[in-house]
Amino acid sequence: MRAYEYKSIQFFAITFLISSVISFAAAYISFQNTMQHLLLPLILGSMSGPSIAACIMLVQSKNQNLWTDFYSRLRFDNMKIPFILGVLLFVPSLIACAIILSCLFGQSLDQFTVSGQVSDQALNGFNCIGILITLLLSSSLEEIGWRGYGIDSLRSRYNLWQTSLIFATLWSAWHIPAFFINNGYFQQELWNLGYMHVVIYFASLYLLTILINWVYVENNRSILIAILFHMVINFSYSLFHLQLPTKIINMLLLWVVAGIVVMKNKRLFFTLPKKLL
C-alpha cells in the first residue's frame, strides 16, 4: 500500500466551517434568555469540529494504515510517566510562580483564592466534577482532531517548529467566534477586561502549542497525553482569576520554558520528520 498523502487544507476547511457555524449559533443563543439550556451543547458542538473533520478525512482516505495509526495513538501505554506528572504539575506550578512574582509589583496573594463561581454561563449549576467532565469532553473533542489528524497533516510538509507556528495561527483564528458568545463566556470575559488580556491570550496560545506538540511527539504521538495537557491548561486558567501583571509574568515564564524546550530539542523542531505513514 502506497504512502498516505495528508490533506491539511481540506481538514482545516471542514473544521472551520463546522465550528464557525455552530459557534455563531451559540453566540445567538447566548443573547436569548429562554434558550440558555442549548448553549452548552452548542459550545461542545463547535469544539467537535476538529474531530468531525478528522473522522471525515479518515473515512475518505480508505487507508487501513491511517486507521491503524490513529487507533494506536489512543493507547495508554504511549504515555510516559514522567511526562504525565509534568503535564499535571506544569501549568499549576507556572501559575503559582507567576502569582508569587507578581507580589513584587504590588499584586496580592489573594489570586491564589479559587473562585467560588463559574465564570462561563454555560457551566452555571455544575459542580467541580461536572466541570472536570465537561473540560475533559471539550479537550477530547478538540485533540482527537488536532492531534489525530491536523498536526500530522502539517508535519507531513513542515518541521515541528513551522508546524507549531502555522497551527497556532489557525488555532487562534479558530477561537475568534467564541468572543461573540455573550455574558461571561471565557473569551468574551477577556475582551471585557481589555485588549491586553486578549493579546496575552493569543500570544500564550503560540507558546502552549509548542509545548503541547513537543509532549505529543515525545510520547509516541499520543493523543491521550495531548488531551490531558489541554484539560489541565483549561482547568488551571479557569480556576484562578489572574490580574494583568500576573498574566504578563505567566506569559514571560512560558516564553522561557518554550525557548528552553526548543533549544534543547533543535533536531526535533527543525528537521523534517520521516514519513509518518
How much is the CA Rg of the chain, to the nearest whole Å? Answer: 19
Write out the three cell numbers for 248.
504578563
Q: Which residues are catalytic?
A: 142, 175
| pLDDT for 103 beyond 80 | yes
Q: Give the pLDDT mean for 70-89.
A: 96
> 36 Cβ partners below 8 Å, 6+ apart?
29, 30, 121
3-state secondary structure of 206: helix
Using CA atoms, how far apart are residues 60 and 82, in angstroms rounded to an integer?
37
Residue 171's closest CA among 134, 136, 142? 142
| pLDDT for 42 beyond 70 | yes
Q: What is the pLDDT of residue 189?
A: 83
> 195 Cβ partners below 8 Å, 6+ apart?
none
| pLDDT for 105 beyond 80 | yes
Residue found under cell 461573540: 180
CA distances from 163 to 50, 203, 209, 251 (A): 16, 16, 10, 21
pLDDT band, very low/low/confident/very high, at 123 (cuts 50, 70, 90): low
Residue found under cell 482545516: 12
| pLDDT for 120 beyond 60 | no
Sign of CA dihedral 204, 205, 208, 209: negative
221-271 tens-digit pLDDT: 999 999 999 999 998 988 888 999 999 999 999 999 999 999 999 999 999
Write out the three cell numbers for 217.
511527539
- Chain-wide mean pLDDT for the chain? 91
Q: What is the pLDDT of residue 187?
A: 85
Write out the three cell numbers for 213.
506538540
Q: What is the pLDDT of residue 117?
A: 46
Q: What is the pLDDT of residue 124?
A: 56
8 A C-beta contact, residue 44 and residue 181: no
Write out the three cell numbers for 206.
503560540
Least confident of 107-116, 131-140, 169-178: 107-116
CA distances from 154 to 48, 184, 198 (A): 20, 34, 26
